[in-house]
């Protein structure tokens, strides 16, 4: 690949990523604020956050759970968040005994409680394991935030709050926007729960 072509790929990739984020912010800024208030209220009332997705979305689930449990930008107490993508014994036993579609739904049934918040991540909005877990969330009584892309897929009509990267169906661009949105969510939740830490300039 010649240098000019490579530079063109770089410029187009960054431009499309920026465009996806700008469109997302314009379309879902208010929804993201509502989600931050929902999560902050749930955490302040003794509830927790469950996160799940496949592939890169599984990595995002683990990433965001770590930001809550450890810290994001300020020193504060740990916040309860669980990525349902990390327990290999649970994942493999469920997949082996019941099928992969149930790897998250069974964990939701076991670990979720009414009032918890689920963050369901699927770039297409059509992942069977994610959709089945969303259904389980409804039965248990969890609020569901759906992160997806393109037209939102089946997830669009099944979640309480939709955060959809509508500008693209490109998996990489969708995932880049998802993690940016989740970083903003972590920041907002901390600002709502720990305002004094920000006032003191207690950034990590």
Domain ranges of the chain: 3-199
* Cα–Cα distance measured from residue 164 to residue 23, given in angstroms and rounded to the nearest whole number: 10
Q: What is the CATH number of domain 3-199?
A: 3.40.50.10490
Q: In whole angstroms, what is the distance from residue 152 CA to residue 162 CA?
A: 8
Both tokens of residue 24?
């997302």
Average pLDDT for residues 69-94, to the nearest whole number? 97
The band of 203, judged by pLDDT with boundaries at 50, 70 and 90, is: low
Residue 37 has pLDDT above 60, yes or no: yes
pTM of the model: 0.94
In 3D space, the residue among 112, 133, 119, 152 whose CA is nearest the CA of residue 38 turns out to be 119
- For residue 2, the model assigns a pLDDT of 78
Read off the DSSP letter of residue 166: T
CA dihedral 113, 117, 123, 124 (to 10 degrees): 60
The pLDDT assigned to 65 comes to 98
pLDDT in tens, 56-79: 999 999 999 999 999 999 999 999
Contact 120, 147 (CB under 8 A): yes
How high does pLDDT run on average in the chain? 96
User: What's the pLDDT at 4?
Assistant: 86
pLDDT of residue 202: 53
Q: Which of 132, 181, 125 is nearest to 157 (CA)?
A: 125
Tokens 């469920």, located at residue = 94
Q: How confident is the model at residue 28 (pLDDT cuts 50, 70, 90)?
A: very high
pLDDT at 81 > cutoff 60: yes
**What tokens appear for 151 in the block?**
């037209």
As a whole-number percent, the residues of the chain with pLDDT over 70 amount to: 98
- The pLDDT tens digits of the residues spanning 139-197 come to 999 999 999 999 999 999 999 999 999 999 999 999 999 999 999 999 999 999 999 98
How confident is the model at residue 201, as a pLDDT?
A: 64
How do residues 96-141 score in pLDDT, each as one tens digit?
999 999 999 999 999 999 999 999 999 999 999 999 999 999 999 9
Q: Which residues pair with 117 in a beta bridge?
A: 49, 143
């Amino acid at each position: 690949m010649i240098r000019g072509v490579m530079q063109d790929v770089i410029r187009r990739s960054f431009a499309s990523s920026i465009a996806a984020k700008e469109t997302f912010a314009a379309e879902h800024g208010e929804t993201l604020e509502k989600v931050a208030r929902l999560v902050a209220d749930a955490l302040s009332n003794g509830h927790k956050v469950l996160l799940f997705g496949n592939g890169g979305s599984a990595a995002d689930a683990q990433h965001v759970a770590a930001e809550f449990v450890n810290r994001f930008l300020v020193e504060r107490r740990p916040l309860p968040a669980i990525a349902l993508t990390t327990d290999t014994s649970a994942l493999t036993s469920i997949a082996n005994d019941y099928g992969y579609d149930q790897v998250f739904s069974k964990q939701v049934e076991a670990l979720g409680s009414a009032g918890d918040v689920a963050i369901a991540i699927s770039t297409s909005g059509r992942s069977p394991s994610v959709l089945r877990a969303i259904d389980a969330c409804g039965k248990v009584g969890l609020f569901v935030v759906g992160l997806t892309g393109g037209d939102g897929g089946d997830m669009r009509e099944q979640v309480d709050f939709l955060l959809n990267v509508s500008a693209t169906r490109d998996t990489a661009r969708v995932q880049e926007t998802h993690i940016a949105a989740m970083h903003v969510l972590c920041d907002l939740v901390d600002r709502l729960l720990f305002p004094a830490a920000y006032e003191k300039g207690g950034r990590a």
